[in-house]
Structure 1
């Protein structure tokens, strides 16, 4: 929490600096903040161990979707780092696995009895990192990859914001919303979550899609093939497609098909090699994950936490989908086609508030969208997500998400009042 306070104060301070000074400070600060994630082994997640394993399995010519890490068929690929034994199994975050002869055996890989859940371009990234890593490098190449992707995202944000009319002087401060956010070094660098690649592709896609719809759609498809969450930003790319007036219905249909067709084609092409190479389902553990995390049965986990405060558990899923559908329809009808990131932020933020996921790295996408759009109130969502993941229990997560929803609502009301103020109407607003 203290890191978030310092982050907010620092970003606010940058707003008042001359552009050159703000630019230098943002770049230096972004590099320093990112580098902090490289100082230790993963601290709050074990997902990167699965990444390293999946890369190793693919390098051996085996589809990661065919075997779980605990299966004996992959035993020749094991080493003492990912699969300790004896006293090495006494450390934290160790998961027992069957072993011959009754010896104590375990792994650092979570859920070792299930197949991988990651989409194909994530798997391709794991293979690439494995191929570029020196022998015995362990987790560090994945962390370095996360750092490079995070810095690349900051660079794209800075370039995109600097090229936007009226944003040149504000670009460093807006970029700092992402580059300095505490969630970035923790989740994308230290824990090396592959979301770093998905966020980068999403930011590039939304920055270009209003001018190059096919390219934007293709990049969103690639982001979705890295981590499924970026799919919720697709309505943002279609902002205003159902608005009254403007383009003809035929033109709108062509625009929508250009984006949706590119998304679908890239996702299909990404999955195709793994479909051909795998004996099992390339969806991996996805259905099991949905059940395990309580998305299908609201009462079993802390999902839909805000909705369950006022509704029966049995209504939670349908209500969440209804609210999300309303948000999507609003963006399609009233969204700004010149600012697709705004619609993407609304739909993504609403999705996280109604589903209240328990993993904090999902919300890093919101941080990047805030940097693109500047609606700071949505930063409450990643802060709440972090509290839900690292907090003491369900109550802390629910309270955090509730506070985030209140902040978002307050920001919406405040902006609505500014838009309707006489100074704004007659062109005298300074905002």
Structure 2
């Protein structure tokens, strides 16, 4: 098994370096997706091998390989996303005391802040295969979309970065968050009674390496906060007062994650699954923690720029076809018209939220279900949104949720490469992901029922931990 792991890990590291040092997506086209697919096969093989190794050996190999994959991803500038250029611009604007929500990058008020790296000259634009007057920043005529704590992260990273580091600054920042995540995942697994070898599911996946490190996405900060919340609320034998404080703290961490990227806000509901407390009390404490962070983050911005703090969010929702309802690929694949597809998708996501509130699964399980339902319902183009889902699914030991992450990549490539059947491909991949998830959950339920009817008790520390009930022992009826 060690030899199999090492071989798969080596393949992954080589592919990580190859993709990072290769051409950008518009030049490499489908070649990058092919290499990612090969890396995905190596990932599956490495996870399978890790689950059959002694725990200490598996953890050491997993952490070492995970770090090597991420270091290899620093081999070149971002190849499948240009978001980090907006991060750099927002940081530059803040550095001179201008609120990043006030003006879009292309505004004349900010013309004096333009630098050749982000606003190339005619020769630089030619090298980028863009017209004169180009910029590396996406949507330069639109204000920023990133929430206040993301903006604080941008400024902090920029302040600490050496001069001339450019894109490497943001990749190294992503690497730092990923090291924290790699350390927290086995801790969270252990706190919730799972087999720590499952940390390989996240650590060896191509998605976190590509999205958080190679592309430098700020989602890594949000993922770190979410994992921190899952660790904080893990079952302990402490006092009621201490338990309440941990619930508030976990809510605050979820609130912080939502102030980096908005979608983790739904995870407040997952905290209802903690043991030893009533449902309403947990929601009030966690909600208070999250709302406090949100108010503290947004209030200064609202005072400064008013409703402009929303930035490009309304425009983004319209651009992504959420307003008209065409983005809901799973529902439209069933033949529903856009308006009905939007209603059906919202109802499905709401149904999962109600299931979490009523059944009170353990927070990692609830978090995976909530994020998975949200992503399946909204079927975003951007595959990096699903990295947070992969982290939650790893702690919950629900590997089938990784299908949502996998589904995003063919769709993303087809949209970026302007494929004529992009929507059809998106529907196919997301529906396939739904089938995989239903099959995985059904199989898990069947095994759990068999074990409940059989002799003995299941061992949550085994490779089969993903089939456990994953519920805290202490429960109340309300």
Fold match (TM-score > 0.5): yes
Task: Indicate which of 331, 345, 349 corresponds to 1:324.
Answer: 349
- Alpha-carbon shift at residue 416 of structure 1 (Å): 1.6
Match in the other structure for 1:281: 308
8 Å contact kept, 1:48–1:192: yes
- Secondary structure of the residue aligned to 1:238 is helix
- Secondary structure of the residue aligned to 2:145 is coil
1:103-124 per-residue CA deviation (whole Å, 9 max, x = no partner) reads x311100000010000000000
Task: Indicate which of 243, 248, 251 corresponds to 1:217.
Answer: 251
Match in the other structure for 1:185: 209
8 Å contact kept, 1:151–1:179: no
Aligned residues: 407
Does residue 1:260 correspond to 2:287, yes or no? yes
Q: Equivalent residues in 2 for 1:120-135 (5 A)?
A: 120-135=148-163
Distance 2:341 2:373 in 1: 14
- Alpha-carbon shift at residue 92 of structure 1 (Å): 3.9
Distance 1:134 1:287 in 2: 35
Shift in CA distance, 261/223, structure 1 to aligned 2, threshold 3 Å = same
Match in the other structure for 2:166: 138
Distance 2:63 2:451 in 1: 39
Match in the other structure for 1:401: 430
1:274-319 per-residue CA deviation (whole Å, 9 max, x = no partner) reads 22333661110100100000111123xxx11111122122201111
1:333-382 per-residue CA deviation (whole Å, 9 max, x = no partner) reads 0022xx20101100110111121110011000111011101111111010
- Alpha-carbon shift at residue 20 of structure 1 (Å): 2.0
Task: Indicate which of 382, 386, 389 corresponds to 1:363.
Answer: 386
Distance 2:349 2:358 in 1: 14
In structure 2, runs of 5+ residues without a counterpart are 1-36, 235-242, 465-478
Q: Equivalent residues in 2 for 1:345-364 (5 A)?
A: 345-364=368-387
Q: What's the Cα RMSD here?
A: 1.8
- Secondary structure of the residue aligned to 1:421 is helix
Moved >6 Å (runs of 4+): none
Task: Indicate which of 56, 78, 90 corresponds to 1:42.
Answer: 78
8 Å contact kept, 1:217–1:261: yes
Task: Indicate which of 262, 266, 279 corresponds to 1:228.
Answer: 262
Match in the other structure for 1:101: none
Distance 1:77 1:280 in 2: 24
Match in the other structure for 2:57: 21
8 Å contact kept, 1:34–1:151: no
Match in the other structure for 1:99: none
- Alpha-carbon shift at residue 93 of structure 1 (Å): 7.5
Tell which deviates more after alignment, 215-224 or 84-93. Answer: 84-93
8 Å contact kept, 1:65–1:280: no
Distance 1:205 1:422 in 2: 30
Task: Indicate which of 143, 166, 180 corresponds to 1:115.
Answer: 143
8 Å contact kept, 2:189–2:396: no
Task: Indicate which of 381, 401, 405 corresponds to 1:378.
Answer: 401
Q: Name whichever structure is richer in helix by fraction.
A: 2
Shift in CA distance, 423/124, structure 1 to aligned 2, threshold 3 Å = closer
Match in the other structure for 1:75: 111
8 Å contact kept, 2:332–2:341: yes
Distance 2:51 2:307 in 1: 53
Give TM-score, length-normalised by structure 1.
0.90
Does residue 1:194 correspond to 2:223, yes or no? no
Q: Equivalent residues in 2 for 1:95-110 (5 A)?
A: 104-110=132-138
In structure 1, runs of 5+ residues without a counterpart are 97-103
Does residue 1:342 correspond to 2:365, yes or no? yes
Distance 2:91 2:209 in 1: 23
- Secondary structure of the residue aligned to 1:83 is coil
Does residue 1:30 correspond to 2:66, yes or no? yes
- Secondary structure of the residue aligned to 1:282 is helix
8 Å contact kept, 2:178–2:212: yes
- Alpha-carbon shift at residue 255 of structure 1 (Å): 2.1
Give TM-score, length-normalised by structure 2.
0.82
8 Å contact kept, 1:7–1:181: yes
